[in-house]
Amino acid sequence: MVDSCAAKNYPPTMVISSRVLQLLIALCCLVFALPAFGQREPSPVRPPQPGEGGDATLPAGYKGVVWGASAEAIMAILGGMEVQATPDPHLRKLIELPPPGSEGDGMVRHWTLWDDKLVEVTMFFPGPFTLREGRELREAFENKYGPARLEKISKGVERGSSAWDVKVEKQIVEKRWLWQDPFTIQMLKNDVLTGQWINIRQSRMFEASRNAQAEQERKEAQSKKVKSIILD
């Protein structure tokens, strides 16, 4: 067998140098491609679907009452409550009453049920808070549940010393701190103008089902409206 280098009259050193050159060119291309690869836009982080994505990190309910509990179960755990009707036939509220002979902690709690399943708990903190008290409350929530996503709600507020000197200025009227996991969404809400604070916990799974039910009923109502029209 004839040596390929001898057949082409190429010295062996030239063949080796060519291969080394090809390797160097390939390495250079890879080095230049790495920065471009690293600069790709990161894919957007999407929140997990309700009920998916691992264990809950927020309280799934309140005071040991789990999402989906019936009114009977809630009152068996917490005692008597005032039942409040709502315009929506699927929804009703239970207002927690302080134990007999006790003033309680001053908080008013509303338990919202959808088709007799607990879907939301709203806590109204007593009286307006000072700026310092509000800050301490927010820090207590963040120390327990971690960093929150802040949302600020603004609206036009009229200012002026007379009817002829009225100006509408944008002003922050509400701040919301939100925590969310696959099972629960929690919001700490502050009315900036009044100093009132509210905490709302909501089941993501049952809320998604409730919204789907409401949308289906809306479509059925629209369909019935059209079908009820008599054409000659």
The string of pLDDT tens digits covering residues 146-200 is: 999 999 999 877 777 666 777 778 889 999 999 998 899 999 999 999 999 999 9
Q: How many CA within 13 A on the CB side of residue 72?
A: 1
**What is the reported pLDDT for 138?**
95
Q: What is the mean pLDDT of residues 32-56?
A: 56
- Quick check: is 177 in a domain? yes
* Residue 11 placed within a domain: no
Ramachandran bin of 213, using left for φ above 0, alpha for ψ from -120 to 50, beta for the remaining angles: alpha
Query: Does residue 223 fall inside a structural domain?
Result: no
3-class DSSP assignment, residue 63: coil
Task: Give yes or no for residue 201 having a pLDDT over 90.
Answer: yes
Distance of CA 142 to the CA centre of its chain: 15
Domain range holding 93? Answer: 61-216
**Cβ neighbourhood burial of 47 (10 Å; 0-12, 13-18, 19+):** exposed
Query: Domain for residue 162, yes or no?
Result: yes
Count of structural domains within the chain: 1
User: Does 39 fall in a domain?
Assistant: no
pTM value > 0.75: no
